[in-house]
Amino acid sequence: MRVANLLPDIQYQMQQSQQALATATEQVSTGLRVNQLSDDPAASANMVRSLAYSANVDQYTSNVSSVIPQMQTADSAISSIVTSLNTAVTLGTEGANGTNSTQDKQEIATQVQSILSNVIAQANTSFQGVYVFGGSDSTTPPFVPASTTYTSSQGSTASPLATTTALTAGSVTTISDATTGKTMTYTAVAGDTVATLQAAIASKVSDGTLSVGTSATINANGQLQVGTNSATAGIVVSSNDAVLGTMNAAPGTEVANAYAYVGNSSINTVQIGDSMNAATNVPGNQLFTSGSNVIGSLSNLITTLQSGTTTQIGAATEAVTSALNYLDQQRVPLDNTMTQLNSQESYLGQEKVTLTTQQTALVGINMADAATNLSQAQLNNSAVLAAAAKIMPQTLLDYLK
């Protein structure tokens, strides 16, 4: 083949070796084999997925760290309550001793009262503003003092409420009972009246949710009045129905040592793994007012110490012991979740390492390889340039005289 001019070829070779040099330099300075999407589209796409997994793992780890202290707070509150209950049992046993005088029993009752206050304070524990034992209703204290009677803010002698007064559809009225430890939640539907509410309350009394004797009436002032008709049984009533206004405890009707649960039974979950959710709370009613009813049994013990027989005191003390055993069972899910969180924490740490390694494999380049490539490219480039320098200037004219 006739060769007219070497220059275009030389230029092309130089361009190629410059390109290789540029690529090698970029790889060394970034440590990445894939510096733009076009370098390896499949690896880039996989990288997107891998980074999404990494972000999830980071979040799960963060969730675990956030949740553990909250659960530890709950756990230590329960431990404190268990200690208090043990003391109460001791006191109760002492009180059931037939040799005690009334004054002795009063003193013991006072001590049990302060234990109960302590237990309530612990049950109302909060962690960074979140009440840990309120179920998902964590913005207000879950255990509040109960009263015998609540009256509505709406209604007066001039414009009284009546059994025929219609209630707002969708409004919710709750009655929490300190003695049974249970809550009635009533949601009004269109067409409901005060009479419907009365009937609902009656049915809840029959099924044991509310204490016997609890009822709703229209009082002399034209207000809706919900009461237990018993000086020793307390309730807490609330409503968001504008027709009723707010429900307030009637002054002077507070029942000593009676507390009702105004939270709910919902459990919040937090995701700590791709298909793993941790329950982050145990509702207060599940722990302290259901089954043998920690709070109720303490209240009862105080009452029997103040005015009951030795047999009754003995029975009340038994009830506290049962409540304690029940609590021990109910705290198990909490402990299990703590264990789960701890082991998940170390698993997530491993996952993170695996993902990071995977990402490096996808788009990274081994530094040794990159450095070798660079020196090879430099060598090639120098060779091309040297060859070009040798060849380019020579023509026949240099040699003709």
Partner 1 sequence: MGSLSSSLSIAVQSLNAASGSLQAANNNIANVNTPGYTRKVPILEEMAPVNEGNFSAGRGVELEGYQSVRDELLQNQIQQETQAQSGANAQLASLQQIQPTFTTSTQDIGTQMSALFSSISSLSTNPSSATSRQAVLTAGQNLVTAFNTASNTLTAQQAGLNTQVSQDVSQINQLTQQIAALNPQIAELKATGQDGGTLQDQQDQLVLSLSKLTSVAVTQGTDGETLTTENGTPLVVGSKSFSLQTTTGSDGMTHVLDQSGTDITSSLTGTSSLTGGDLGGTIQTRDTTIPGLLSQLDTLANKFGNAFNTVQALGYDQNGNKGGEFFTLPATPAPAVPPAADPYPGAAANIKMAITDPTQIAASSDGTAGDNLNLARFSALSAASIVSGQTPSDAYASLVYQVGSLTSNANAESTATTSSLAQLNNQLSSVSGVSIDEESANLITFQQAYEAAARVVSTIQELFTVTMSMGTAAAE
Choose one: 8-16, 154-162, 222-230, 380-388; the region binding partner 1 (CB under 8 A): 8-16
Choose one: 96-104, 131-139, 152-160, 195-203; the region binding partner 1 (CB under 8 A): 131-139
Shortest distance, position 307 Cβ to partner 1, whole Å: 39
**Rounded to an integer, what distance in angstroms lies between the CA atom of residue 284 and that of residue 79?**
14
User: Which of 58/328 has CB closer to partner 1?
Assistant: 58
What are the E-state strand segments in 122-275? 126-127, 130-131, 143-147, 149-152, 172-177, 183-187, 215-218, 224-227, 235-239, 247-249, 254-261, 269-273
How many residues make contact with partner 1 (CB under 8 A)? 55
Please identify which residue in the block is written with the tokens 């009063």. 106
The gap between the terminal CA atoms of the chain, to the nearest Å, is 28
**Rounded to an integer, what distance in angstroms lies between the CA atom of residue 117 and that of residue 257?**
8
User: Which of 319/355 has CB closer to partner 1?
Assistant: 355
**Rounded to an integer, what distance in angstroms lies between the CA atom of residue 237 and that of residue 175?**
5
Do the beta carbons of residue 145 and residue 262 sit within 8 Å? no
**Rounded to an integer, what distance in angstroms lies between the CA atom of residue 46 and that of residue 56?**
16
Q: Does 265 bind partner 1 (CB under 8 A)?
A: no
User: Within 6-40, where are the H helices?
Assistant: 7-30
Choose one: 30-38, 75-83, 297-305, 333-341; the region binding partner 1 (CB under 8 A): 30-38
Choose one: 23-31, 214-222, 262-270, 334-342; the region binding partner 1 (CB under 8 A): 262-270
Q: Residues in the chain, how many?
A: 401
Q: Does 22 bind partner 1 (CB under 8 A)?
A: no
DSSP 289: I
Site for partner 1 in 294-353 (CB under 8 A): none
Q: What are phi and psi of 217, to 5 degrees?
A: -140, 170
Shortest distance, position 146 Cβ to partner 1, whole Å: 21
Shortest distance, position 372 Cβ to partner 1, whole Å: 24
Q: Does 268 bind partner 1 (CB under 8 A)?
A: yes
Determine which residue in the list 18, 25, 26, 40 makes contact with partner 1, applying CB under 8 A.
40
Do the beta carbons of residue 301 and residue 316 sit within 8 Å? yes
Other C-beta atoms lying within 10 Å of the C-beta of residue 379: 12
Q: Does 401 bind partner 1 (CB under 8 A)?
A: no
**Rounded to an integer, what distance in angstroms lies between the CA atom of residue 277 and that of residue 341?**
10
Q: Does 277 bind partner 1 (CB under 8 A)?
A: yes
Q: Does 46 bind partner 1 (CB under 8 A)?
A: yes
Q: Does 55 bind partner 1 (CB under 8 A)?
A: yes
User: Which of 7/231 has CB closer to partner 1?
Assistant: 7
Choose one: 6-14, 147-155, 192-200, 338-346; the region binding partner 1 (CB under 8 A): 6-14
Site for partner 1 in 111-130 (CB under 8 A): 128-130
**Rounded to an integer, what distance in angstroms lies between the CA atom of residue 122 and that of residue 323?**
16
**Rounded to an integer, what distance in angstroms lies between the CA atom of residue 342 and that of residue 319?**
35
Do the beta carbons of residue 149 and residue 249 sit within 8 Å? yes
User: Which of 11/307 has CB closer to partner 1?
Assistant: 11
Q: Does 44 bind partner 1 (CB under 8 A)?
A: yes
Determine which residue in the list 39, 75, 318, 345 makes contact with partner 1, applying CB under 8 A.
39
Shortest distance, position 213 Cβ to partner 1, whole Å: 30
Site for partner 1 in 360-399 (CB under 8 A): 395-397
Rounded (10°) CA dihedral 198, 204, 207, 209: -150
Q: What are phi and psi of 233, to 5 degrees?
A: -100, 125
Kindly list the residues in this chain that would bind partner 1 in the complex (CB under 8 A).
Answer: 1-5, 8-9, 12, 36-42, 44-49, 51-52, 55-56, 58-60, 62-63, 66-67, 70, 128-130, 134-139, 264, 266, 268-271, 274, 277, 280, 395-397, 400
